[in-house]
Amino acid sequence: MNPEVLFRVDGSPAIGLGHLVRCIALAKMLNDDFEITFSCKEISEAMASELFASNFRYNIIENELEFIAQLHDKLIVVLDGYHFSADYQKQIKSCNTKLVCIDDLHEKEFVADLIINHTPSIDPQDYKASPCTQFALGLDYALLRPTFLEQAKKQRTIKKIETVMICFGGSDYLNLTQTLLSIALEFPQFKKIIVVTGSAYQTTKCLIELVSSDSRIEYRHALNEHQMLDVMQEADLAIVPASGILFEVLASGCIAISGSFIENQELVYNNFKNARCIIDAGNFSYQKSYEAIVEALGGDINQSILIDGQTAIRFSKLFNQLYKEFSINLRKVTANDLDITYGWATNSGIRRFSFQQHLIKKPEHTNWFLKKLIDINCFYSIVEYDSIPIGSIRFDISEGEAMISYLLDPMYHGQGLGQLILKKGIEWLLIVNISGLIPINVISGVVMKTNLPSIKAFERLGFVKIEQMENYKFEKWIY
């Protein structure tokens, strides 16, 4: 039986429909390797049907205690919602689970093993998170359903804008659909205007009259993902809010006009705007929307490949790596480790990224090793995977700085275990020094610029990169 991923998310139209949609997208990317279960307090009939069609299990819970009672050893939990506090996260992790948080606001503290935020231009430094937290940030981690990821792999060229799609999804309680349709009708350049409303939208008499007033308009309601992609493929331009649908539009190759009209869209909107991925419609006022359409029709068509469609591969690696972490153990180095550490110290596959390139003889290593054993400012551990030594990590403390040296046996390269050595090593350091007997203000590591796996490992853990001639120094401050 495959390992299990348990999603805790709510899916009512009023609370978290967008959260559930992106969780379903992630679940579909993981479905080949993991058993998927959803826990919700509320879920719409349409979303329940989609879970059933995807062969995902789901259960309805009354409260959070009921959810906690479901947790068990070696489980990966995914949280998506704005109300899951740091204390709640700690309660989940105390059950020997791995915790993943999907977040697009970075307003609270996190103790997650992994934070996912697919908004562009997000930086790990934006988060208040555990020093051991990994990050999957930006459009490389776009939470899109398989239909849109497959489309993102295809090249699409738009030479002229003639068809526009308008969609504000969900309930569209401000009825921006009708507002934007009225504006779009002022532009004769549009030969076709496709209006799409969500399943919770209450169709108004005014909208029906407006749709009937112009033969260019096609009205469609409550589309599934395949139907939605077909519409996006038909359209040259899409007018959508800065929510999940914007990512789908960009993956489809459409040109996007977007803006924000509620608080939880503001950060996504600003980052897309600053990254120049969208044509800016502000808060979708008449003036801003009209100007955005003028810009779209009058400017050069600028299409960039923003989403490459490889997200599923990246998430599969990350979640399999998380599960491997259950099999990683660190123990303090002992005198019995002299021979294995000497073997690593003289291994050519390891030494090519070492700053000491001279040939190390056994007496030299023995003298160095025995000094490290008794050095109170050195935290030195052997890393085991399924009880087999696969590498080591060492922290040398000086004036509040913990300098990292770590290695992975070349037999285990290419499995993501180097990342785990670094992550688990930092976690181990903070545990063994929990009383703070040796003050640590910053954890650092120096990496050759040619050592790409280590560079990526430090970056995924949110270290700040500082250029130093032929090397990079990575720093993470401990507060």
Q: For 118, which DSSP code?
A: -
Question: 465, 436 in Cβ contact below 8 A?
Answer: no
Asked if the domains 147-298 and 327-477 are classified in one and the same CATH topology, the answer is no
pLDDT tens across 276-334, in order?
Answer: 999 999 999 999 999 999 999 997 777 778 899 999 999 999 999 999 999 999 999 99
Q: What is the model's pLDDT at position 13?
A: 62
| Cβ proximity of 138 and 272 under 8 Å | no
Pairing verdict, β 328-332 and 378-385: antiparallel
What pLDDT does 479 receive? 72
Q: State residue 160's pLDDT score.
A: 93
More confident: 479 or 98: 98
Block residue for tokens 């400012």: 377
* 388: pLDDT strictly greater than 70: yes
CATH topology of domain 4-143: Rossmann fold (3.40.50)
Give the integer Cα–Cα distance in Å for 110 and 85: 8
161: phi then psi, degrees, rounded to nearest 5: -90, 115
15 pLDDT more than 60: no
- Stretch 263-276: mean pLDDT: 92
Tell me: pLDDT of 93 over 60.
yes
- Percentage of the chain with pLDDT > 70? 99
- What integer best gives the mean pLDDT of the chain? 94
Least confident span in 91-100, 238-247, 288-297, 303-312: 303-312
Determine whether domain 147-298 maps to CATH 3.40.190.80.
no
Contact predicate 51/58, CB 8 Å = yes
Query: What's the whole-number mean pLDDT along residues 433-448?
Result: 90
pLDDT tens, position by position, 135-187 = 999 999 999 999 999 999 998 999 999 999 999 987 899 999 999 999 999 99
Q: By the 8 A CB rule, do 112 and 90 touch? A: no
Q: Is the pLDDT of residue 14 over 60?
A: no
Domain parsing of the chain, residue ranges:
4-143, 147-298, 327-477
Confirm if 112 and 101 have CB atoms less than 8 A apart: yes
* Ranges 10-14, 33-37, 104-108, most confident: 33-37
Answer yes or no: are the C-beta atoms of 213 and 186 closer than 8 Å: no
pLDDT value of residue 476: 96
Which residue's entry shows tokens 């139907």? Answer: 227
Is the pLDDT assigned to residue 17 strictly greater than 80? Answer: no
Per CATH, the number for 327-477 is: 3.40.630.30
Measured between alpha carbons, how far is 323 from 417 in angstroms, rounded to an integer?
11
Q: Is the pLDDT of residue 465 over 90?
A: yes
Q: How confident is the model at residue 45 (pLDDT cuts 50, 70, 90)?
A: confident
Task: Tell me which H or E stretch contains 165.
Answer: strand 163-167
Tokens of 387: 């009880």
Q: Is the pLDDT of residue 16 over 60?
A: yes
CA dihedral of residues 261, 264, 265, 266 (deg, nearest 10): 80
pTM for the model: 0.94
| Cβ atoms 266, 260 nearer than 8 A | yes
